[in-house]
Amino acid sequence: MSGGVDSSVAALLLKQQGFEVVGAYMKNWINEDNVTGHCPWMQDIEDARTVAGQIGIEFRVVNLMHDYRRLVVDYLLDGYAHGLTPNPDVMCNREIKFGVFRAYATAGGFAAVATGHYARRIVSGDGTCTLLEGVDKNKDQSYFLALLSPEQLRDARFPVGHLTKPELRALAAGHQLATARKKDSQGICFIGEVKMPDFLRAYVPDHPGPIVRATDGKEIGRHRGLHYYTIGQRKGIGIPSNTDRKAYVVVGKRASDNALLVAFDAPDAPGLFVSEIRVQALSWIGQPVTTSRPLEGRVRYRDPRVPLEFVPGEGGRALIRFVHPQRALAPGQVLALYDGEQLLGGGVYV
């Protein structure tokens, strides 16, 4: 229970269905280094505790700060330090919620871990589990579950996946839950309201280098470190647009001379749109896809599914051929793979 309305209603529904439910707040980060923005974890704990009392269930605070720093924050910082664009939300689900916390729950005799994700878990007659998008397509969060294993999905429950957000809030209001009108949190809590560059500045040393125009190789500025930028970025590059009011966009990073590559933001900007990309660290929720076949992919959380051809390779790698070129795909990001509404798994852009 995060202290938000989604997990509050998830707990309510499970209690109504007759399950023995215990609410748990995962204490992951408390801004002990005083570098991040506002992260109201104390208020979130009190909100979750209040709702647990209203529902009539036990409430616990589970300290996972050490594991979170090791498995999520260090992954985040190491990724940016090596020029990647990591996805801490996906990693938190795999390593913390359904990793360390699932192990804690199993050791305590619990049958499953339930969250407020907008996704649907379906169990077939033979006990096989599949994962579908949430009914509310505007709130669907299946993308963030793309790297779960079959065992993790087996022990997962998503009680609110069949609801739309307005229906969920109406349920919360109807039961007078304390979080019924609480605003949704934005981003990942440990970063709070601070901008990512400010967070990175506190942990990753600056490594200045040239800003190079990709079309002609001309140096047009200097950057403080490649970790501050991602492919497709337009704002905050540190160079002005030209007199024709064309904006520069980041199209690449060159490790050999620590150069940030930019071009004018246009369909023909070199490296901005790609038709093929390779992924690694493939993870499958169900049966692995081992033959070339058409699938759909979500290249980032808020984007719609797009058609592609999946070509499996060796060692958990694959070639992805998009039917339509995709914009600003950065190494380190996650591609979620679908067959219609069914999430099959995912991989990481190379």
Question: Which residues are tagged catalytic?
Answer: 92, 189
Task: Tell me how far apart the alpha carbons of residues 303 and 251 are, in angstroms, rounded to a whole number.
Answer: 19
Task: Tell me how far apart the alpha carbons of residues 212 and 221 are, in angstroms, rounded to a whole number.
Answer: 7
Q: Of 349, 344, 343, 345, which Cα lies nearest the Cα of 328?
A: 349
Three-state SS at 170? helix
Per residue in 308-334, is it b (16+ CB within 10 Å) or e — as a string? Answer: bebbeeeeebbebebeeebbbbbbbbb
Task: Tell me how far apart the alpha carbons of residues 233 and 59 are, in angstroms, rounded to a whole number.
Answer: 42
The token pair that represents 106 in the structure block: 């199993």
Q: Where are the alpha helices (DSSP H) in 83-161?
A: 88-92, 101-107, 150-154
Task: Tell me how far apart the alpha carbons of residues 347 and 350 are, in angstroms, rounded to a whole number.
Answer: 9
Task: Tell me how far apart the alpha carbons of residues 288 and 250 are, in angstroms, rounded to a whole number.
Answer: 34
